[in-house]
Structure 1
Amino acid sequence: MSSNKGLGRGLDALFGGSAPKQEPQGQESAVNLVPVSSLRPNPNQPRRHFDEAALRELADSIKSQGIIQPLLVRPHGGENTYQIVAGERRWRAAQLAGLKEVPVFVRELSDKEVMAAALIENLQREDLNPIEEAEALQALRDALELTQEELASRLGKSRPAIANALRLLQLSAGARADIQAGLLSAGHARCLLGIDNAMASDALRQRIISHKLTVREAEDAAAYWRGHNALPWEAQDGEPQPRTKTPRKKSAQLKTLQVNLSQSLGCKTQVSGDENSGRIALAYASREELDMLLAKLGVALPEAQNDANNETETHVQPAAETQDTSDISD
C-alpha cells in the first residue's frame, strides 16, 4: 500500500477507542491459516471492479513472496466459515496463484465496523482518484455518524483536508467524471467550486481541458469572473459587466414570517435576505390601504412637505414598485 494513503490509526482509533470483543481462543492477536474455500467476500464491499491484469501481477508476486499482509476476516455463516473484511483482492490473487490456504486475522466485528473497515481499505488504494476518495470519506462519515472534525481526528488527518476532499462532491456530474478520467485535478476542481454560476463554471471546466490550463491559470480565471461577472476570454468581445449578486435562498422561518406579517397587517408583504440582514417590503394599492397600514403600525402620514412623498416611498413602497411580486404573499 502506498505510504501516503496509509491512515496509521487502526480500527480501534476509527471506532472511537473501543476495541471489538476478543475471540475466546485468542485468535485475534494471532495469524491463522485458513483454507481459501472457507472465505466469503463481503457483498457490501465498496470496491466493485478488480482489474484482471493487476490481479495477475499480484498473483505472480504472491507465488514468489507469499502474502505479506494477512487478511482481516470475521466469523460468518457457520463453523469454520469467515467473511472477508479487508483483503478480497489478495484472496482473489491467492486463488490465481494456486494457494490452498491464506493467513488471516480473525476478529469479531459488527456490520457497521465491517463497512467502515472495507471503506478504510478502499481509502488506502494507490489508484484512488479524488472523487473516489471523497465518496469513500462521505460513506465512512455516514456509516459512523461522524462530524468532519471527528472523522479527521480518527483518520489522523486535518479537518481542512477532509473538508476540501468532501467539497468535491458538490461538483457537477461532468466535472466529477472529468476528474475520474484524469482530465481535471483536485486543484482545478477547487477553482470550479469558487464560481457560483453553473454556466460559468462549466465554461471554465471546458476551457481547462481544451487549453490545458494550469491550476494557477484556472485560479486567475475564477478570480476574474468573481470581479467582473465574465471569464477573461468572454470579456474580450465587450466591456465586462458588473457582477450581479446571487439571490440568497429564503429560509423556512422567513417564509413563515412573510405569511404571518401579511395576515397581521392585511397587506401584501415580502421578506428578503436572511436572519442576519435583509429587507421587509409592505405593498398598498390605494390611499385607504395606506391609511389602514399606517394605523396598524402606529404611524401617521406627515403633513404635505417638499420631500414628504419621497420619504413615504423610501419606507413603504407602492405595489407597482415592490420587487419580485411573484413571491409576495396575500
Structure 2
Amino acid sequence: MSEATKRLGRGLDELLAEIETAPPSRLLEIVPEAIDPNPAQPRHNFAPERLDELVDSIARHGILQPLVVRDGASPGRYELIAGERRLRAARRLGLATVPAIRIEVPDERLLELALVENLQRQSLDPIEEAHAYRRLLESYGYTQDEVAQRVGRSRSAVANALRLLELPEPVKEALRAGKLTAGHGRALAGLRDPALQQTLAQRAIRDGMSVREIEAAVQRHKGKGGSPRQRRRERRERPPYLEQLETELARRLGTRVRIEQRARARGRIVIDFHDDEQFEHLLERLS
C-alpha cells in the first residue's frame, strides 16, 4: 500500500463521527459568500427541481443539518466539505449566514469524505459515482477492494460501477440524465459493440424497457446476434482468473494493476504509479 493510501485510510471513521456528533459549541455561523466550493466534489449535476424543493424547505424550516467546512486558503475564508446543495439554496434565499461545523481535513481526504457524504445521501448519478471511484483508484493507488471498504460498498458494486465508464458517451449521458438506471447500464456493458449498445439503449428509453428485458435482449445478442467478428470476440471473454491475478498483484504492489490479454497467449501487464517516489518504490519491489 502506498504512503498516500496509508495516510488517506487513517482516521476517516473518526472524522465522520466528529461531523455527526459535533456539540452545539462547535457550530459556526458563516457568511455564504465566504465559503468556497470543494475542489474534490464528485457531484456535478444538480437537478433544478430538487434544488427548488430544498429552497422551499429551508425557507420554511431553516437549515436543519449544518454544512461541513475547513479553513480556506486565506483568513476568513472557508472551503466546503459537505453541503453544496444547502449552500446553493442558502445563496438563492439570500441568507445572511449558514450554520457550519469546522473540522481539520488534509487535502487527500477531501475526495473520500465528499464521496461518502454523497453516497449516503444517494445524490450522485451512476456516472458521477463511477468517476469518483476511478479517482480514488488513480489518485491514491487503491485497489477495488480498498475503495469498497472505504466507501461502504461491496467490491462487485464498485467493479460494476466502473464498467459504466466504458459505455459510449450517448449511453452515459442517458445515465446522467436519469433516462436509464445503473441496472440498465450494467446490462448494456455486457455487450462489446458500442453501436449495438447505443441502439439498445435508445430502444430501452423509447419503449420503457425494464432492466430484466434489457438483460434478456443482451443475452439474445450475445448468443446468436451480431456479426461473426463480434461473436468471436464474445467467445474470447476475459477469464475470471485474470481479475483475481490483478487484485493479488495490486495488493502486493500497493497500486492499480491491469492485465491485458491478447490472442496467441500474448499480452501485457500495466502497473500504475503517480509520482517519482512511488515509481522508485515499485522498482524496489520488482527488483
TM-score when scaled to structure 1? 0.57
Find the aligned partners of 1:242 and 1:113 in 2 and give their Cα distance: 46
Which of 10, 16, 40 does residue 9 from structure 2 map onto?
16
The C-alpha deviation readout for 1:171-215, integer Å capped at 9, x for no partner, is: 111211222233323222222222223343333333333443332
How many residue pairs get matched? 227
Which of 159, 163, 166 does residue 155 from structure 2 map onto?
159
Find the aligned partners of 1:38 and 1:199 in 2 and give their Cα distance: 46
Amino acid at match of 1:229: G
For the Cα contact (< 8 Å) 1:73–1:82, is it kept in 2? yes
Which of 128, 133, 138 does residue 129 from structure 2 map onto?
133
Find the aligned partners of 1:52 and 1:185 in 2 and give their Cα distance: 19
- Alpha-carbon distance change, 71 to 274 in structure 1, aligned in 2, over 3 angstroms: same
- Alpha-carbon distance change, 149 to 214 in structure 1, aligned in 2, over 3 angstroms: same
For the Cα contact (< 8 Å) 1:74–1:85, is it kept in 2? yes
- Alpha-carbon distance change, 145 to 105 in structure 1, aligned in 2, over 3 angstroms: farther
| Correspondence 1:93 to 2:89 | yes
Which of 45, 53, 60 does residue 56 from structure 2 map onto?
60
Shift of 1:87: 1.6
Give the structure with higher Rg (CA).
Answer: 1
- Name the structure 2 match of 1:218: 214
- Name the structure 2 match of 1:10: none
SS at match of 1:105: strand
Structure 1 unaligned runs (5+)? Answer: 1-12, 22-27, 232-240, 249-270, 277-330
Shift of 1:274: 1.4
Find the aligned partners of 2:192 and 2:101 in 1 and give their Cα distance: 49
Any residues of structure 2 matched to 1:237-248 within 5 Å, and which?
A: 244-246=231-233
Any residues of structure 2 matched to 1:41-52 within 5 Å, and which?
A: 41-42=36-37, 44=39, 45-48=41-44, 50=46
Find the aligned partners of 1:243 and 1:48 in 2 and give their Cα distance: 35
Find the aligned partners of 1:272 and 1:125 in 2 and give their Cα distance: 45
Find the aligned partners of 2:264 and 2:63 in 1 and give their Cα distance: 61
- Name the structure 1 match of 2:34: 39
Shift of 1:125: 4.5
For the Cα contact (< 8 Å) 1:31–1:103, is it kept in 2? no
Any residues of structure 2 matched to 1:219-298 within 5 Å, and which?
A: 219-230=215-226, 244-246=231-233, 272-275=263-266
For the Cα contact (< 8 Å) 1:16–1:154, is it kept in 2? yes
Shift of 1:126: 4.2
Any residues of structure 2 matched to 1:186-201 within 5 Å, and which?
A: 186-201=182-197
- Alpha-carbon distance change, 82 to 216 in structure 1, aligned in 2, over 3 angstroms: closer
- Alpha-carbon distance change, 124 to 222 in structure 1, aligned in 2, over 3 angstroms: same
Shift of 1:104: 1.8
SS at match of 1:183: coil
Find the aligned partners of 1:144 and 1:62 in 2 and give their Cα distance: 37
Q: Percent identity?
A: 38
- Name the structure 1 match of 2:170: 174
For the Cα contact (< 8 Å) 1:141–1:151, is it kept in 2? yes
SS at match of 2:81: strand
- Name the structure 2 match of 1:235: none
Find the aligned partners of 2:57 and 2:188 in 1 and give their Cα distance: 42
SS at match of 1:245: helix
- Alpha-carbon distance change, 181 to 90 in structure 1, aligned in 2, over 3 angstroms: closer
**Greater RCO (CA < 8 Å, at least 6 residues apart):** 2
